[in-house]
Amino acid sequence: MANEAKIKQLEKEIADKQNLIEKLKQVSSAVIKLEDYTNEEKIKFFDKLYSSAMAHLKEAEEKGYTDEDTPYYMYEEVFGILNLRSTRELWKYFNSLQ
């Protein structure tokens, strides 16, 4: 009897792993090469990032502190450079790696 329970548990784990494999096969890299961006896209990203960093600095200057979530949002913004056209697809790909 104990063997039957263990076999069922292992079969479920195998099925779960097979489902995960199929999901991973459906996700392709969402990274866009730097040279594939237009100059306009690069400038727009730089301007947005610069404005964000400046706002963060001004907040620190004026209040003496910053929102504790700001570094997280800035990380997301910077990481987004790997796919400016669809950060949703980038995060989907990134999350599939973990």
- The verdict on residue 9 lying in a domain is no
Residue 27 has pLDDT above 60, yes or no: no
- The verdict on residue 25 lying in a domain is no
Tens of pLDDT, residue by residue over 42-56, are 999 999 999 999 999
Q: What is the pLDDT of residue 28?
A: 65
- The verdict on residue 16 lying in a domain is no
Q: Which helix (H) or strand (E) holds 81?
A: none
- The verdict on residue 54 lying in a domain is yes
- The verdict on residue 2 lying in a domain is no
What is the distance in angstroms between the CA of the first residue and the CA of the last residue of the chain?
36
Residue 18 has pLDDT above 80, yes or no: yes
49: which 2 tokens? 């990032």
Q: What is the pLDDT of residue 1?
A: 64
Nearest alpha carbon to residue 66 among 77, 54, 78: 54
> How much of the chain exceeds pLDDT 90, in percent?
53
Domains contained in the chain, number: 1
- The verdict on residue 73 lying in a domain is yes
What is the extent of the structural domain holding 74?
30-96
The reply to whether the predicted model has a pTM over 0.75 is: no
- The verdict on residue 90 lying in a domain is yes
| Integer Cα distance of 96 and 98 in angstroms | 6
Model confidence band, residue 6 (pLDDT cutoffs 50, 70, 90): confident
| Integer Cα distance of 27 and 52 in angstroms | 31
| For the chain, the helix, strand and coil percentages under 3-state DSSP, each to the nearest 5 | 80, 0, 20
* Residue whose entry in the numeric block shows the structure tokens 């727009």: 44
- The verdict on residue 20 lying in a domain is no
Model confidence band, residue 63 (pLDDT cutoffs 50, 70, 90): very high
